Structure formats: structure tokens, C-alpha cells
Homo-oligomer: A and B are copies of this chain.
């Protein structure tokens, strides 16, 4: 088995002390430029690599952060992750990605796992199923820096990055109204998600401003965020069974849009489907249906910003009590 070269090996070879080598390798001002050069050259030549494990142990920091999202196979989150990584790599942090699959249990396990792996901080977007936040509160109480993005909770104060969900939902709904639809249903995400209530508000506001009565019967929730296709089909089946079928649907998310369209294809293949507008960051969905209007979130930017705020928390020398709640604007893309 290959045994990598250590700082002590270098020290011995150059007749220096380990501390000198360590300092030289981290470019300390205490070390003579000449010696520094010797050490760096030797290290380079012998392909020395710092052992981050040992380093972490001593420094009490791992220079890695954890990200928990429901799933990476989702355009919004994969774009957000790209944004996160773009900042992280630049600042020397490593990103560990974890998926909750919108399941409460997996969220708990994974967050625990990440905390155990001694991450320096967490970027969290809540799972759809989660109603109890104690697993997160505990870590926060223990001093672990946490930043929420997209799906946030307000149980305690910290940085958050979201989009203007209310306004986005309003714009999407308005676009459907502008196209002449009056009977507009809403296919919503899990009720306890922050984005769900905000988007619902926007939907309601658009209806109200256009003098359209809100019908509770036109709102359907998906408690697992569409993770189970069956729940989406149930909603669609419900819509199809209504005496007056909705002419259009405002769908809360990407995944739900796909599930919804797929369900309509399966359940009523020959029928004319209602028009659909909704939140989406997919670059595929636009191929799907020419009349699909979507609200696009600046996912990359959100990831970037969340990561920057997290690093700010991590590297702050003093406890932070002043938190940012960034809200970015959405973009309506219609065809």
C-alpha cells in the first residue's frame, strides 16, 4: 500500500522542524523566503498533499459545508448547487450534497450525518414532509451556522435566501387571467412549506385583483411534493371529476408540473388539457407544451448568495445577531 509523504518526512529530509514546514506550506510570514522556497520545491517534487483530516482535527474546522435539498434531479436545485459550488470552490470550501427526497426521516438522518462529518455549516432547503424542526434547532443551538434557501423556516433567526414567491405566483396567475381564463385551479405543494403559503397568497391576490372569486375547491395540495405520482394523479382525477372543470391550472413547482401533465396524458389522453402556468426552472418543460408559461427563479444566484452568507457566518469572529433575509425577483417566461 502506498504511503503518502508527510510534513515530518519533509522536515527530516530538509533538516527542519515540522512546525517550520507547516508554516512554510501555509505561506507564513515567519518563514524566510529562501527556506520557504526550498520546502515548497521539495514538497512539489515529492508530490506532497496536506492531509485534510489531520488538519481538520487540529483546527476544529473541516472547510466543508453540507447542502440538503429534496433532490438533485431537479433543475432548480441543481442550478442552485452550481451556484453554491461556484462560491465554495473559490473560497476553498468543499460541498457535500445530501438528498432528503422530501422525506422527513431522510432529512433527519442526513443532517445528522453531515453534522457528524463535522461540516462547518449547513445550507438547507426544507423537505416537504417536515413539520418538526427540532433536529435543526438542536444543531443551531450548538452553534452550527445554518442558512436556509428557498424552503425556509422561521423558528429561529438566521440568514435566508428566497424568491418573491407571492409576486411570482401572482404573475403566473395573472398571465392565465390575461389569456382569458377565469376558472383557474391551483395545484399546490405540501401545506407546511414556506413557499406553499407564499405562492398561494400570490394566486389569491391575482384572482382578487381581477374580481374572480376564490374557490377553495379548486385548490389541491400534494403533501409529498409530488414525490408520489399517485397524489398528483389523485388531484388531477379530482379536477377531471369536477362539474365545471378548470380551464387553467397554476402549478406550484417543476415536479408537480411534470406530474400534472403526465397525469392528464394518462387519465384523459384525448381531452384538451387545461392551460398550465407555474414555477419551473426546467429547460425541458418549455419543449413540452408551447402554452406553458413559467415563473423562473434565479436559482444559481440564490445558491451563490446563500453560500456567501454561510461563509460570512462561518468566518465571523463574533457571534452574528443581524441577519439578512434576501428576496430575489422571479422572471416570467411566456411564449
Contacts and interface: CB of A to CB of B under 8 A. Distances in A.
Interface in A223-258: 258
A57 interface: yes
A78 interface: yes
Interface in A99-147: 99, 109, 113, 115-118, 141-143
A84 to B, nearest CB: 11
A97 B72 contact: yes
A288 interface: yes
Contacts of A64: 117
Contacts of A116: 49-50, 52
Contacts of A78: 71-73
Contacts of A113: 94
Nearest to A89: B109
A51 B258 contact: no
A53 B49 contact: no
Contact of A141 (B2, B82, B109, B285): B2
Contact of A258 (B53, B71, B287): B287
A284 interface: yes
Interface string A58-86: 00001010000001111100110110010
Contacts of A35: none
Interface of A: 1-2, 4, 49-54, 56-57, 62, 64, 71-75, 78-79, 81-82, 85, 89, 94, 96-97, 99, 109, 113, 115-118, 141-143, 258, 261-262, 265, 282-285, 287-288
